[in-house]
């Protein structure tokens, strides 16, 4: 409250000296009731050009912000600029004391006292981590995903943070790309709903509340289409693929009111995203009417020089701002170049004003002008961070994220008594890898390991042998993971331990730092010596439950051919081991479905369910070799999009359409039944896909258009229905607009993209 008075008094004083006390600006600024736009405009009027450019400058806070002011180097420059009101935002400053320290400088030392917006990569939780976003997406549970983002906001905001660089909504069809772990998979429909859920979760109903934070849809755009899955690589994507596949989740985030966007490192069709007028000015701020601000990715302004698109940093600043980038993350370029660019007439001051207006607006919406220390409550920080409720919620979504890939001879669920079990694999007692690579605020070794989780079931005998180490040394966020490919010690002990056991649980997969930014892989097999270990153990005991812990789809053909039970447990966050144990013992019946296709081998990549038919698709009995295929592997994936088993079984039937045609103002009701034909109560994600048979551009063989999570007791049958209307069938057509083209369609129903029911329908031309 004290601050509120100070800020308004300060602004009033400056305005009085600038425009006179009777001016409407003064009155409107002083009125708490005046709209945010009016306040922003009044403030903008009294800002110098340097102060405006300062708002567009974001720094990484790496020095000890609570200590004395730094004496040398970049830290000194940053500190000085902070004191001069030349910094609008900081990232990676966290914890109440630290945030308060930098905020105090901005608020108390600068001429206008404009508060900082404090950003941080709250990707899947702050300190209490939930599953990596790809894993959460496998739950298909929008409410649970929203709740997870809500909890992340509660915890992060208690640590002083008011802006997250999430959700990442990049679609990707390439499991080689390490950042698939951070997204929602390959499908634009599912990913759009998840984008909306996450934005709503982070931002809540009231952005000015102290437990909600601004979200950031990133990376705009095309980042997930990096050639060959190599991070930061060239992206060349057609305009129709952009609109039909890449843009939808970004559009959904915009419609959900996301307050910020981040552009991306990659070039898109020859133009870096950061300097891309089409992406930022035409599509986002133009067609979609986005009124928040765009932050660059880390030094992506400067990287336009390396891309060969700007001749030097100053040129890069000119291109970035003219293209609609509003804030420069850690490149020091806007702050150093924009003033002279304005003076030289190369950047319009009105464009600077527009950028600053957007940034100030979000700060006002967050309530930072009312109280810049609203996220800085030490008591709340202590009470909220890591509290029990957050752990319970993390466990809940962790269970929902697990996907049962195979369960032949019903090895699972495990009996709770009398079993002699061997647990094998370095990852089984790894308390860090389940945290994934975006664990910045979580401390290492804070996840519940599988071994710890299994201890909750004490009536079975457990023998643990790790087998060979997965990695050598201690990998970190900034260093390459060194795999152990030579030291086989541990294989023999593992084989011995597996002999004569009732069940062997093998926990294999990827180290936590093998996925994430800059963590592309050129093969998708089990890394290191794990395949060798698996095969050696299989020779002495075939009753293996393979628990996979990984951040991307893996090509595990051999395992699928030989191992009876396979559980995809991703990187599930803090409660990982508990969630896995509860699923293995059947206290939670797995219900997850893959949000991304698992290939048979890396050569099939990119592989995705909503592909085109081509002119020569495989026939059941090919007449010659001249069709679209490989000589050495089928076109089919190992596990298709939408796939996931349960301990029970489901049967689909009785597909009915209320009509076999509709017009643009009408709709068709699709209904069908699902029966639980197995022994356990369970949940099934019922999925509806369509195919548009002929289009002005060719249409995918299947497109997800609806899903619902249905709970069923053994023997129970429920009717499920979906609506098909113009929204279901529209796409970005050859006319370069979103439209529904009259014609014939198919609708498919099932528990994965390999659907089991199908019917035909048509969209008729309207008479009007």
Provide the mask over 291-330, with x wherever binding to ligand BGC is found by CB under 6 A and - wherever it is not. Answer: ------xx--------------------------------
Name the minimum Å distance from CB 121 to ligand BGC.
5
Q: Is the dihedral of CA 347, 353, 358, 362 positive or negative?
A: positive
CB of 152 to ligand BGC, least distance (A): 14
Q: Could you tell me if 638 and 600 are in contact, meaning their C-beta atoms sit under 8 angstroms apart?
A: yes
CB closer to ligand BGC, 165 vs 609:
165
CB of 133 to ligand BGC, least distance (A): 12
- CA torsion, ordered 287, 289, 293, 296, to nearest 10 deg: -10
What is the Cα–Cα distance from 414 to 416, expressed in whole angstroms?
A: 6
Look up tokens 């336009």; give the residue. Answer: 304
Closest CA to 553 of 141, 195, 180: 180
By CB under 6 A, tell whether 124 contacts ligand BGC: no
CB closer to ligand BGC, 170 vs 684:
170
Q: Applying CB under 6 A, what is the total number of residues that bind ligand BGC?
A: 7
Site string for ligand BGC, 31-50 (x = CB under 6 A): --------------------
Structure tokens at 629: 């295929």
The answer to whether residues 504 and 543 touch, using CB atoms and an 8 Å cutoff, is yes
Greatest alpha-carbon span in the chain? 91
For 757, the enclosing helix (H) or strand (E) is: strand 757-763
Residues 393, 560 contacting (CB under 8 angstroms): no
Return the sign of the alpha-carbon dihedral for residues 148, 154, 159, 163: positive
Q: In terms of CB distance, is 91 or 424 closer to ligand BGC?
A: 91
**Total residues found in the chain within this entry:** 768
Tokens representing 676?
Answer: 């639980």
Output the smallest distance, CB 165 to ligand BGC, in A.
Answer: 3
Binding mask 533-572 for ligand BGC (x = CB under 6 A): ----------------------------------------
Q: Which of residues 71-100 bind ligand BGC (CB under 6 A)?
A: 91
What value does the CA radius of gyration of the chain take, rounded to a whole number of Å?
Answer: 27
CB of 266 to ligand BGC, least distance (A): 10
Residue closer to ligand BGC (CB basis): 171 or 668: 171
Neighbours of 71 (CB within 10 A): 8
Select from 664, 674, 651 the least CA-distant residue to 722: 674
Query: Binding pattern to ligand BGC, positions 470-499, x when CB under 6 A?
Result: ------------------------------
Cα 546 to Cα 79: distance, rounded to the nearest angstrom: 52
Round to whole Å and give the CA distance between 631 and 619: 15
Vertex 483 angle, CA 546 and 492, to 5°: 55
Q: How far apart are CA 127 and CA 717, in angstroms?
A: 42
Number of neighbouring beta carbons within 10 Å of residue 137: 28
Q: From residue 497, give the alpha-carbon distance in Å to each of 421, 425, 532.
A: 9, 12, 16
CA distances from 604 to 134, 621, 768 (A): 20, 21, 47
**Contact flag: residue 517 with ligand BGC (CB under 6 A):** yes
Choice between 123 and 398, CB closer to ligand BGC: 123
Spatial separation of the C-alpha atoms in residues 589 and 761, rounded to whole Å = 36
Distances (CA, A) of 238 to 183, 206, 255: 21, 38, 24
121 binds ligand BGC (CB under 6 A): yes
Residue with tokens 């790496």: 62
Closest residue by beta carbon to ligand BGC: 165
51 binds ligand BGC (CB under 6 A): no
Min CB(424)–ligand BGC separation in Å? 35
Nearest CB to ligand BGC, comparing residues 164 and 591:
164
**C-beta of 121 vs 426, nearer to ligand BGC:** 121
Residue 409 or residue 478: which is nearer to ligand BGC going by CB?
478
Q: And the tokens for 96?
A: 């109440």
Least distance (Å) between residue 60 CB and ligand BGC: 8
Q: Binding to ligand BGC by residue 519, rule CB under 6 A?
A: no
State the minimum distance, in angstroms, from the CB of residue 215 to ligand BGC. Answer: 12
CB of 413 to ligand BGC, least distance (A): 38
> Distances in Å between the alpha carbon of 308 and those of 227, 234, 304?
18, 12, 6
Alpha-carbon gap, residue 118 to 143, rounded angstroms: 27
Q: Least distance (Å) from ligand BGC to the CB of residue 478?
A: 11
Asked if 169 contacts 149 with a C-beta cutoff of 8 angstroms, the reply is no
135 and 554 Cβ atoms separated by less than 8 Å: no
Please name the helix (run of DSSP H) or strand (run of DSSP E) that holds residue 750, with its range, or none.
strand 743-750
Question: Whose Cβ is closer to ligand BGC: residue 306's or residue 613's?
Answer: 306
Q: Which of residues 608-627 bind ligand BGC (CB under 6 A)?
A: none
Which residue, among 414, 265, 252, has the nearest Cα to 329 in the 3D structure? Answer: 265
Active site (catalytic) residues: 297
331 or 497: CB nearest ligand BGC: 331
Figure out which of the listed residues 7, 165, 662, 707 binds ligand BGC, where binding follows CB under 6 A: 165
Which CA distances in Å does 19 have to 24, 316, 344, 575? 9, 36, 28, 59
Q: Which of 596, 687, 672, 680 is closest to 646 using CA atoms?
A: 680
Least distance in Å: CB of 328 to ligand BGC? 13
Name 614's Cβ contacts closer than 8 Å, sequence gap at least 6: 628
Cβ 518 to ligand BGC shortest distance, Å: 8
Q: Which of residues 203-262 bind ligand BGC (CB under 6 A)?
A: 218
Other residues' Cβ atoms within 10 Å of the Cβ of residue 715: 10
Interacting residues toward ligand BGC by CB under 6 A? 91, 121, 165, 218, 297-298, 517
């Amino acid at each position: 409250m004290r601050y509120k008075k100070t800020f308004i008094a300060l602004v009033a004083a400056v305005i009085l000296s600038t425009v006179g006390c009777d001016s409407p600006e003064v009155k409107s600024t002083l009125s708490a009731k005046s709209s945010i736009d009016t306040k922003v405009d009044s403030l903008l009027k009294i800002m110098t050009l340097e102060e405006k450019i300062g708002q567009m400058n974001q720094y990484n806070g790496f020095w000890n912000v609570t200590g004395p002011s730094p004496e040398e180097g970049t830290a000194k420059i940053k500190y000085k600029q902070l004191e001069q009101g030349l910094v609008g935002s900081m990232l990676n400053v966290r914890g109440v004391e630290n945030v308060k320290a930098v905020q105090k400088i901005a608020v108390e030392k600068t001429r206008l006292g404009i508060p900082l917006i404090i950003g941080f990569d709250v990707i899947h939780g702050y300190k209490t981590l939930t599953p990596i976003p790809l894993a959460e997406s496998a739950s298909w549970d929008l409410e649970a995903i929203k709740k997870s983002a809500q909890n992340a906001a509660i915890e992060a905001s208690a640590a002083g943070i008011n802006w997250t660089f999430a959700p990442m909504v990049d679609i990707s069809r390439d499991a080689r790309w390490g950042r698939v772990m951070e997204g929602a998979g390959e499908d634009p429909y599912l990913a759009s709903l998840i984008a909306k859920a996450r934005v709503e979760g982070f931002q809540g109903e009231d952005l000015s509340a102290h437990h909600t934070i601004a979200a950031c849809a990133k990376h705009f755009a095309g980042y997930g289409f990096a050639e060959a899955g190599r991070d930061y690589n060239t992206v060349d994507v057609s305009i129709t693929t952009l609109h039909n596949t890449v843009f939808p989740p970004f559009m959904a985030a915009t419609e959900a009111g996301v307050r910020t966007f981040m552009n991306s490192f990659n070039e898109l069709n020859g133009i870096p995203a950061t300097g891309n007028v089409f992406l930022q000015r035409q599509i986002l701020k133009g067609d979609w009417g986005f009124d928040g601000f765009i932050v660059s990715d880390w030094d992506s302004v400067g990287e336009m020089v390396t891309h060969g698109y700007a001749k030097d940093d100053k040129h890069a600043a000119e291109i970035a701002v003219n293209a609609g980038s509003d804030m420069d993350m850690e490149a020091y370029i806007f702050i150093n170049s924009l003033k002279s660019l304005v003076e030289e007439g190369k950047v319009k001051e009105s464009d600077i004003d527009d950028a600053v207006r957007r940034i100030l607006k979000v700060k006002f919406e967050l309530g930072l002008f009312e109280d810049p220390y609203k996220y800085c409550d030490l008591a709340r920080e202590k009470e909220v961070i890591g509290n029990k409720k957050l752990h319970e919620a993390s466990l809940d979504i962790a269970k929902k994220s697990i996907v049962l890939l195979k369960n032949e001879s019903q090895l699972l669920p495990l009996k709770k008594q009398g079993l002699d079990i061997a647990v094998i694999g370095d990852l089984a007692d790894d308390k860090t890898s389940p945290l994934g690579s975006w664990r910045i605020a979580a401390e290492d070794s804070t996840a519940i390991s599988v071994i710890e989780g299994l201890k909750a079931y004490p009536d079975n005998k457990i023998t643990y042998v790790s087998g060979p180490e997965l990695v050598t040394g201690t990998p970190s966020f900034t260093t390459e993971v060194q795999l152990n490919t030579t030291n086989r010690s541990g294989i023999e002990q593992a084989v011995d331990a597996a002999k004569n056991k009732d069940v062997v649980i093998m926990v294999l997969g990827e180290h936590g730092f093998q996925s994430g930014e800059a963590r592309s892989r050129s093969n998708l097999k089990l890394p290191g010596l794990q395949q060798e270990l698996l095969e050696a153990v299989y020779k002495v005991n075939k009753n293996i439950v393979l628990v996979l812990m990984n951040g991307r789809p893996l090509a595990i053909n051999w395992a699928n051919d030989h191992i009876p039970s396979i559980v995809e447990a991703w990187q599930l966050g803090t409660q990982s081991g508990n969630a896995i144990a509860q699923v293995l013992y059947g206290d939670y019946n797995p219900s997850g479905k893959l949000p991304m296709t698992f290939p048979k081998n890396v050569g099939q990549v990119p592989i995705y369910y909503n592909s085109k038919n081509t002119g020569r698709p495989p026939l059941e009995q090919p007449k010659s070799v001249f069709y679209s295929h490989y000589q050495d592997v089928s076109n089919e994936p190992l596990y298709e999009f939408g796939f996931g088993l349960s301990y029970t079984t489901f049967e689909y039937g009785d597909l009915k359409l209320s009509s076999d045609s509709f017009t643009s103002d009408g709709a068709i009701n699709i209904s069908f039944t699902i029966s639980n034909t197995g022994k356990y109560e369970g949940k099934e994600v019922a999925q509806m896909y369509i195919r548009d048979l002929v289009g002005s551009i060719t249409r995918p063989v299947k497109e997800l258009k609806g899903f619902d999570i249905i709970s069923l007791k053994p023997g129970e049958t429920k009717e499920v229905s979906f609506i098909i209307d113009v929204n279901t069938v529209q796409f970005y057509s050859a006319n370069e607009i979103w439209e529904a083209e009259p014609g014939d369609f198919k609708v498919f129903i099932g528990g994965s993209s390999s659907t089991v029911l199908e019917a035909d329908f048509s969209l008729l031309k309207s008479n009007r």
